[in-house]
Structure 1
Amino acid sequence: MRRKNYWLLFAILLLSLTALSQGQDLSQTPSGHEEEDDASLFPQPSTQERTSQSPIRVTVHLSDEDFKQLEELNHTYVTDTGATVELNNIPDADAYLQLTSALAVGEGPDVMFINSSWVRPMASRGYLLPVEFYTSNRADSDTINPLLQEVEWNGYQWGTPADMDPYVLAWNMKALNSLGVTDIPGGISSWKELLSKAKNRGHQQLLEISSGDGYDAAALLGALGTDPLSPSQASLEWIDKARAFMQIDQAEQGADGAQLPLTISAVSEAAESQTANTELRMPEQLYAIYPSLLRSRSYAVSAGSMHAKEAAEWIAYMSSAVVQQQWYQATGKLPALKSLYDDTVFNPAGLPFHLNSLLQTAGTDKDTGRLQAKWDVFVKASGDYITGKSAAADYVEAVRGEAGGS
């Protein structure tokens, strides 16, 4: 009888252990797959606690003048917050190579202030953290949409747009009026009228377009109302006829002491040389289609950063509306926030310069597959065409070829 009780107790104990084991299996997360997926997409920075010997390391790609302005803004941030920030500038032409080489071996900085066109390549190679990872207070609704397009990839945002320095058309209204033209040209017909009056008045030069970096040619073609990669016949005919009135070599500038009616340059340069007679125009519709032409820069956090939280706080300060306005006033680079173009808040350069299309557009992916992919081809083809080294047909054949072709 006692032996039967032992067997009964043993059976009850065995059933209890089996039930307990099954209950534990049902409560577990299967293999932790979700965590593994997140970790592979969003590299986890170290949680090592910061010390006074471990500052936020910020590497930037700026001119010496812009870097000095950033140092002043950073000094204010450090003074106000007590944070420790180490700034390093790489102004060299091979800055992208230097940065990616450091990032590849885990020696990159916490934060980078770089050309927005670098963000996607860096993100695709696993060098950056997505903005969603280190901040929950994204102000992308106030960021100019085409600028956001430059830093988005694979469904995430990988950088915070900070500024832009697009090429603009700077019109000297006094010189323009001397030709008998009272209004800035809009459609191609008014551009033809401008050229006709320049010929009739015996003007030697009508416009300066001398950088040869592709951005000047794109701005001119955009102002003529055409797509640089699919130029209209009318726009090409205008350039062919106007070439004799172009000042292409900067060494020729001011030879006769006269102000040219039109100068095409970066907005930061135009702001420096502005006068009371200057009016700026930007080919916004073209730039809305091809955001890379805006020549923007962005902040990004490296995937290996041990101080993502502190980096996010520094970026939030530097990309704030107040600091973006100060940055513009010091450098001439336009802000990235739409709200700053509200005339009641901010008037860029104090110039008659306003944004319309760029503030309204949602952006497209057109640039990714077209202009950016064949930028080197476009720079050479447009430079040769503007200077008269090649014909319109050669230019069209080059830019309408396969993306990335030569």
Structure 2
Amino acid sequence: MHVAITGADLLTCHGGTDATYAALTKGVDGSRALRFYDTDRINVTRGYHVDDEVGDDGDELPLRAGRWLARCVLGAVRKAGVDPARERVSVIVGTGLRELRAVERWALDGVPVRRRELHFTTAVREVLPEASEVITVSNACSASGHALALAQDLLAAGEADAVVAAGCDAMSESMLTMIGRVADAPTPALQPFQEGRAGVLLGEGAVAVVLRRAADAGPSALATVLGTGLSCDAHHETAPDVGGIVAAMRDAHRRAGVTPQDIGLVLAHGTGTALNDPTEAAALDTVFAGAAPGPVVTGIKGAIGHTSGSAALMSLLVAVEAMRSGSVPATVGLTKPIEAAAGLRLVIGEPAPCEARVAQVNAFGFGGVNAVSVIRVDR
């Protein structure tokens, strides 16, 4: 069943929705010197921080991810005109890390945290107390794509009148340490599909979209979600697998009722890592073989970092805006594509014209937890 996006909000290192898209259009790299961490010890010096308040001691405020999530959920619901007091409204939050940073600070610095705050029910109910239910799913870096799929299922089953699909994540010391330990030197920049790329950098933020059954959405809907395909190939703990990614893409096309020829734009996962970029390029080559000239391809992580559980829905909103505005932002950090991506129509240097009405959004996670969505914009 097709569902419509009737309201949306996001927060990245660049700010809110409009500021983020403006930065993408201008090709702004939002990374800066890492805050709050011993950069020599973790071997990471840069990240894409949300610019929010700090405590009196100059340290980070607790439960930052939940704060951002609450802001975006409330913003999306208001824009959609949803009334939780009169309608059944469910909220599904996709996350990679939940409030892991709060646990780290509890263990390392003695900053107390209540266990119930590690689930996002508390944060969401502060701004949406009448919500029918709040569900947190932790599905690695495709988490908000899985939240979107579950939202579609709830609407199809008649279990809700509207569903808020959301994603949020804040950086954590353990996640930063993981990416630092696999690098010989600190990564200076995140460069998707770039020859000589050095690896990933973390971003943070939150995103939320309000979904209704397409038949109930009215003419002001931002976009229609035609279908979301999922796969969990369990090929490797961290390494992506072409077969698993291809399976998710084809599942998305089947559910959406489209063919590769119908898709004019792809928002790539594009993490700038040694394995993801050529694997994703190979999967796109496989799926879009024979669909010449193929879709225009871009990615947003060079501008906002890898936002973990938020990544899927953030890319989805950029795809919506690109199709509505008729302009696709270039892939920040990309000047010389890897050989494996030679067959892709990557947007490099300047924004590209966009006549597409149907887009594909890729999101992949550790363990082969993949989510691919197909959306349509009518304008």
Higher share in helix: 1
Q: Work out whether the TM-score is over 0.5.
A: no
Higher share in strand: 2
Given the two structures, how large is their TM-score scaled by the length of structure 1?
Answer: 0.25
